[in-house]
Amino acid sequence: MTTRRDLLLQAAMFSALPGLGFAQTRGLSLPLEPTPACGESRDATPRQTEGPFYTPRPPQTANLREPDMAGIPLRIGGLVLDRRCRPVGDVMVDVWQADAAGQYDNAGYRLRGHQFSDGDGRWRFETILPGVYPGRTRHIHVKLRPPRGDVLTTQLYFPDEPGNARDRIFDRRLLVQMGGDETAKIARYDFVLDVG
């Protein structure tokens, strides 16, 4: 069920933000450039390892950022598309990440949650920029469960990170588009599922 709060969050994710470029994607006004632009590539989003820290059945929420949480606020979202660049709704988007100190909550569900892409294929979370931990560059883990088809497990990366060049599984096809400043960040990634 879509609540008023959901609608407000959605409006905030996809409304104009000062100082950020805009791209028109199939009539939707979204912050930042699409990743990848439709027509440029129809390759499915690359899969990556789940890693050791996934906890099944995270809560359904679009807001992972708690009021007292350390770290730079990050609003991350985008579209879920098929290989013909059509939006895919009702996809469970499940994310998990380290906190600002590079720690995962492996006892509870802090910085873990899921929600569903809407009828226009849009997804979004309010979170923080994940911290870095030894051996990896900065990243967010994600699983997409479409109503039909295979689960996509992958990771998203951030541009201009010194750790990207040293990370063995880093893939530039999984880089988000980044905007904002030192006090708040916004990131966009458009997933392409191997359907359609």
The residue ranges that bind Fe ion (CB under 5 A) are 51
Which CB, 111 or 186, lies closer to Fe ion?
Answer: 111
The rounded distance, in Å, linking the Cα atoms of 152 and 186 is 23
Which CB, 51 or 89, lies closer to Fe ion?
Answer: 51
H or E stretch including 75? strand 73-81
CB of 190 to Fe ion, least distance (A): 22
Which CB, 75 or 139, lies closer to Fe ion?
Answer: 139
Environment class of residue 13 by beta-carbon count within 10 Å: exposed (0-12), middle (13-18) or buried (19+)? buried
CB of 97 to Fe ion, least distance (A): 7
CB of 153 to Fe ion, least distance (A): 12
CB of 51 to Fe ion, least distance (A): 5
CA neighbor of 169 nearest in space, from 79, 54, 50: 50
Environment class of residue 187 by beta-carbon count within 10 Å: exposed (0-12), middle (13-18) or buried (19+)? buried
Which CB, 33 or 105, lies closer to Fe ion?
Answer: 105
